[in-house]
Amino acid sequence: MATLRDTAENYGSLTDAEAEWLALLTSDWQIIADLSFADLVLWRAVDDGFVAIAQCRPSTGPTVHQDDVVGTMAAAGRIAHLQKALDEGGIIASREPRWDDTYAVREDALPVIMEGRAIAVLTREVSQAVSRSSSRLELNYKGAADDLLHMITRGEFPVATSVTGPRRGAPRVGDGVLRLDAAGHVTYASPNALSCFHRLGVTGSLMNRSLPRVTSELVHDKGHIDETLAMVVMGRAAWRTDLEANGAALSLRAIPVTIHGDRTGAVLLCRDVSDLRRRERELITKDATIREIHHRVKNNLQTVAALLRLQSRRVQAPEAKEALAEAMRRVSTIALVHETLSGTLDELVNFDDLAARSMRMAAEIASPGVQVKIVREGDFGLIPAQYASSLALVITELVTNAVEHGFEGRDLGTITVTSHRENERLSVTIADDGVGLSAEPSGLGSSIVRTLVENELSGQITWRATGSGSAVELEVKVSEER
């Protein structure tokens, strides 16, 4: 997908600063389109006229352009209007509406100023097909839009520190609009905005009331007030914050209105995000519960491993002692997975760290008298949590088997673990420089590995002899969905 800079540079190069300024403008101009009930089109001057490089449709009214205009040239009759805005540096209203198919379109043009120079032209295009009465809401919306458009002609909008986009319920024009004067008094509140504050417990009208004082009376716990709240409700900074009271939550965003750097007021957007915050708290509680469950399972498994260790000390038969040691190692491996899961909220596990710990533990337990060097090549990547235990058990069993049987009668040995990840497929090779492989293993450990690989991981496994030892190759599927 082409970026705004890619599109613009089809018609001439842009500096980094110009590209960033235009990107900031187009990331935040939906507010102006909605306040104006109008389409916005960004034009760039070229040798033979002007070309459209971006457009925005309003969500509060009908669009002028049914088809995208990006990449099209301005009609010959519009070039003089666009050039006049570029030369004179103000908002230039069209003298007469132009006709587009069967309806008239009224157009305003203005320059986009950055650091005192014009780098593009913006048009505001309003369809005359729908007759609008000059309601109080419409007059205030258009007044707020005019304030922001005039800031564009002075290079004061967009604001670099402004928070744009729908992050965690960022409000839009349709959610609620307030206009503030320089002292933070409400000069207009849309019906939706008034409803939002009524949910917080505000009674009566907001008109001519000090918004900082109103919000201060709502918040009972002064020690937990977001430090940005005062700046936002005063309209002093282009920030976002949340206001919670009486079981309701509002998301607030301020856009200061300035004239040559002097703040004259602000446009404040608000949205009721009570349900959104409630669901977030539920998810946080659920995640904390899941982590606690993993932590308790890990503790219980470690207790089981300790009991097996105590039991192995009391038995005399070598076979029973070995069987208990193997069971203890498998339980410890599963406990290690749950320990990893208890420390994260993600459903994906960084398996490289987990594999390194489980292989080191397996080598130490399997044959304490042998110094085993484990060499890692490649990455496992992120593995979905539901496959982590099975894969960890498989890797641990194979490393243990290599240590126990490959290095019998030796003091030193090397195991090389090679992993290759390609999307949802994972290939792993575990090779040793031991005594080699005379036949495919058939013990309990190899049976466990084969069952896990084929049934749990939808893969396949093969054993083979090499010139200097043996190797096990497995290929498994570790996608999030099966």
294 neighbors 346 (Cβ within 8 angstroms)? no
Give the pLDDT of residue 369.
67
pLDDT at 358 over 50: yes
360 shares a domain with 334: no
Instruction: Write down the pLDDT at residue 196.
Output: 95
For residue 204, give its domain range: 173-272
Contact 129, 97 (CB under 8 A): no
What average pLDDT score do residues 220-226 get? 62
What's the pLDDT at 482? 46
Please enumerate in sequence order all residues whose Cβ is within 8 A of that of 215, keeping only pairs 6 or more positions apart, or say none: 229, 233, 243
If asked whether residues 15 and 110 sit together in one domain, one would say yes
Same domain, 474 and 432: yes
Point out which residues pair with 87 in neighbouring strands: none
Q: Name 93's Cβ contacts closer than 8 Å, sequence gap at least 6.
A: 106, 107, 108
Task: Let me know whether 16 and 89 are in one domain.
Answer: yes
- Domain for residue 159, yes or no? no
Q: Out of 67-76, 150-159, 163-172, pick the least confident.
A: 163-172
Last residue of a domain, one of 242, 257, 272: 272
Are both 109 and 19 inside the same structural domain?
Answer: yes
469-477 sheet: strands from edge to edge: 371-378, 412-422, 425-432, 469-477, 460-466
Q: Do 10 and 127 sit in the same domain of this protein?
A: yes
Angle formed at CA 141 by CA 136 and CA 147, multiple of 5 degrees? 125
Q: Same domain, yes or no, for 351 and 430?
A: yes
- Give pLDDT tens digits for 277-314: 888 888 777 777 777 887 888 888 888 888 888 888 88
145 plus 10 within the same structural domain: yes
* Structural domains of the chain, count: 4
Q: What is the CATH number of the domain that holds 443?
A: 3.30.565.10
Q: Are residues 473 and 350 in the same domain?
A: yes
Give the domain CATH number at 211.
3.30.450.20
Nearest partner of 110 among 121, 95, 97, 94, judged by Cα = 121
What digits encode the pLDDT tens for the residues 243-273? 998 889 999 999 999 999 999 999 999 999 9
> Is there a domain that residue 432 lies in?
yes
Please give the structure tokens belonging to residue 188. Answer: 């207009």
Domain-terminating residue out of 345, 375, 400: 345
Give a yes or no: residue 160 inside a domain. no
Tell me what pLDDT residue 133 has. Answer: 62
For residue 432, what are the contacts with CB-CB under 8 A and spacing of at least 6?
A: 402, 406, 407, 413, 414, 415, 416, 469, 470, 471
379 and 322 within one domain: no
User: What is the average pLDDT score of the chain?
Assistant: 86
Do 146 and 245 sit in the same domain of this protein?
A: no
**355 and 244 share one domain:** no
Does the pLDDT of residue 16 top 90, yes or no?
Answer: yes
Q: What pLDDT is recorded for position 96?
A: 82
DSSP letter assigned to residue 134 = -
**End-of-domain residue from the set 125, 153, 181:** 153
